Chain A
Amino acid sequence: MAQGVWTIAEQRDGEIRKISYELVSEGRRLADALGQELTVVLLGADIKDKAGEFGAYGADKVLVADDPRLEPYTTDAYVAVISQLVKANDPALLLLGASVQGKDLAGRLAARLDVAMAQDCTAFAVEEGNLVATRPIYAGKAYAKVTFVNSWPQLATARPKVMAVNEPDPSRTAEVSDATFTLDDAELKTKVVEALRDESGKVDLTEADKIVSGGRGMKGPENYNILEELADVIGASVGASRSAVDAGWRPHTDQVGQTGKVVSPNLYVACGISGAIQHLAGMSTSKIIVAINKDPDAPIFQKADYGVVADLFDVVPALTEEAKKYV
């Protein structure tokens, strides 16, 4: 009988990523609901010294797979290792982040293990010993509650920034052990040959705590500096609507929406964005939504917690000044 909750930690260049703590925290709640142990699985090269951190967030055990071929992430290597560990230990729940890495990994793992997978979930619960996952479908126009039938481990990914992170308890520690696995070089077909860093230093939209987004109402690429200035003051990343991206004003990686990024920041400020259904799809799980638009009938106001009907070119710079009082 499958036993135990596993979360797959995510790290890059030896740094643990925030989604890992979101997963451990949620994993702890689920493990308590099941009355089972929580294990964090950490893969990487020379990564063992980071394993100790997870105890404070609620992990009982940390299983470390340390191998030079596990840095950087490749689907081939990670799937090979994790599927072996799963087969050897038979966990009941396997949780990953719905990050770029986690989504890639979870899809392939599902197929390798021949189990179902619930992608990009916004809530988890345990009912009668089974994981029940809630996930937005049709770009958030409906929510599906799903569970698993004859499918172990029950595999799901959690939308970044949705699950609350536990207050770390330094007195709690986890038992750290080395994972046993084999990796065959012949299996490792893809190679990361280069990493082109985004020099702007801005936090990726999917990980940002605050986002200031601009749409066609920005009128041109040169005007985004007023959003950058607000973003600098409040510690936000700048996003865009598809219209702005398709016009060539902003890079594709900035697009929020159905064919762009799905984001869940604490604060989303939409400036000169009408609120088309495909845009709302990408940001409707934001905690606080602010809309600044001169058209009082713009659909974005129906989703906004705070709406400002005004010319953004007047309001945004004024808001930047006002915000300085509070940060």
Chain B
Amino acid sequence: MNIIVCLKQVPDTETQIKIAGDNQSIVTDDIKWVMNPYDEFGVEEALRLKEKHGGEVTVIGLGPKRVTESIRTALAMGADKGILISDDALEGSDSLAHAKALAAAIKELEYDLIFTGQRGVDDDLGIVGAAIAEFLGIPQLSLIVKVEVSEDGHSVKVERPIEGETLVITSPLPALITAQKGLNEPRYASLPGIMKAKKKPLAEKSLGDLGLDSSAFGLDARKLKILELTPPPARAAGKIIEGETPQEKAAQLAKLLHEEAKVL
């Protein structure tokens, strides 16, 4: 069973976000770049499926050269091969364009299952998984917390929590799954894993290598235009509830929630 995992590099979730002078981008100087947390779930699940069913796990990342580090992390966890799609012409592209390039790279491979994260914790869009599935003409199963591949490797059964219930869904393979928290606990790369990763194949591809026309990418081809980035709306300074005892504080809080905030 051949599994592809798409891997996006994002700012570490601890990062303080500073808006750049152009009001359209963020300051990237001090950012620590990491694998999107949801992609860690994808890598882990792919490795577990490989351990059970055999086959190969290929990780694909698109972005600048620094993305190589996150691909190496996935290789150190146990993935077999990496592909980096990197091209100056991609600078400024939107998610739909990224999905087109990722789908073009995946098309050249053999695959039964593709994992993406349910959303990138950077722009929080959650579109790339669905778009790759569409461009490849395969079903998508989104926000999945459990994956079971059939014995014959031709179909998959997944669990998808929705508001108030969990759906059990079956799909023929190949299919694309977007990973959600709860799917698994990702492993850490071991020291021998890190050593081995250095020797694993990592190919770099440009848009040209994928047979794509670079004029369909970049800032000028964007369909979603950023007008402005702003800091989050400030919240009015809060009140610290006074009182001698916990009972007094509770009484005061309940009163304010009723009279002032009008939520009780």
Contact = CB atoms under 8 A, between A and B. Distances in A.
A131 to B, nearest CB: 11
Contacts of A151: 223-224
B63 interface: no
B253 A277 contact: no
Contacts of A210: 263
Contact of B172 (A75, A189, A193, A259): A189
B166 interface: yes
Contacts of A308: 240-241, 249-250, 253
B167 A318 contact: no
B211 interface: no
A142 B26 contact: yes
B181 A260 contact: yes
Contacts of B157: 193
Contacts of A198: 164-166
B149 to A, nearest CB: 15
Contact of A135 (B124, B135, B145, B257): B124
Contacts of B127: 106-107, 110-111, 117, 119
Nearest to B10: A138
A145 B140 contact: no
Nearest to B256: A306
A284 interface: yes
A135 B247 CA distance: 40
B246 A104 contact: no
B62 to A, nearest CB: 16
* Top 9 closest pairs, chain A to chain B, by CB: A107-B130, A252-B182, A318-B250, A314-B246, A111-B134, A322-B254, A116-B223, A204-B163, A116-B224
A247 interface: no
A137 interface: yes
Contacts of B82: none
19 contacts: A111-B96, A111-B135, A132-B227, A136-B124, A136-B232, A141-B17, A142-B19, A143-B233, A149-B224, A189-B175, A190-B139, A191-B169, A193-B157, A193-B168, A290-B257, A318-B247, A318-B250, A322-B255, A323-B264
Contacts of A302: 238
Contacts of B240: 301, 307-309
Contacts of A225: none
Nearest to A251: B182
B162 interface: yes
Contacts of A108: 130-131, 133-134, 140
Contacts of A179: none
B38 A148 contact: no
Contacts of B139: 75-76, 189-190
A144 interface: yes
Interface size on B, as a range, is 35 or more
Interface of B: 11, 13-17, 19, 26, 37-38, 94, 96, 99, 119, 121-127, 129-131, 133-135, 139-143, 145, 157, 159-172, 175, 181-182, 222-233, 235-236, 238-241, 246-247, 249-251, 253-258, 261, 263-264
Given A141-B232, A198-B164, A326 B264 contact: yes
Interface in A284-301: 284, 287-290, 301
A311 interface: yes
B143 A100 contact: yes
Contact of A310 (B11, B126, B246): B246
B141 A259 contact: no
A78 to B, nearest CB: 12
A208 B229 CA distance: 29
Contact of B167 (A72, A115, A203, A204): A72
Nearest to A130: B225
B163 A206 contact: yes
A194 B13 contact: no
B168 A192 contact: yes
B21 to A, nearest CB: 14
A258 interface: yes
A282 B76 CA distance: 31
Given A136-B232, A144-B229, A196-B168, 19 more contacts: A17-B163, A107-B127, A107-B131, A115-B223, A119-B124, A137-B123, A137-B124, A142-B231, A146-B224, A195-B165, A259-B121, A267-B264, A306-B238, A307-B241, A318-B247, A318-B249, A323-B257, A325-B254, A326-B258
A36 interface: no
A305 interface: yes
Given A119-B125, A193-B169, A207-B163, A75 B228 contact: no
Given A190-B169, A326-B264, A117 B249 contact: no
A273 to B, nearest CB: 15
A254 B148 CA distance: 23
Contacts of A303: 235, 238
A195 B249 contact: no
A103 B222 contact: no
B97 to A, nearest CB: 10
Interface string A105-140: 011101110111111100000000000100111111
Given A110-B127, A252-B145, A138 B165 contact: no
Q: Give the most central of B17, B96, B223: most A CB within 10 Å.
A: B223
Nearest to A139: B121
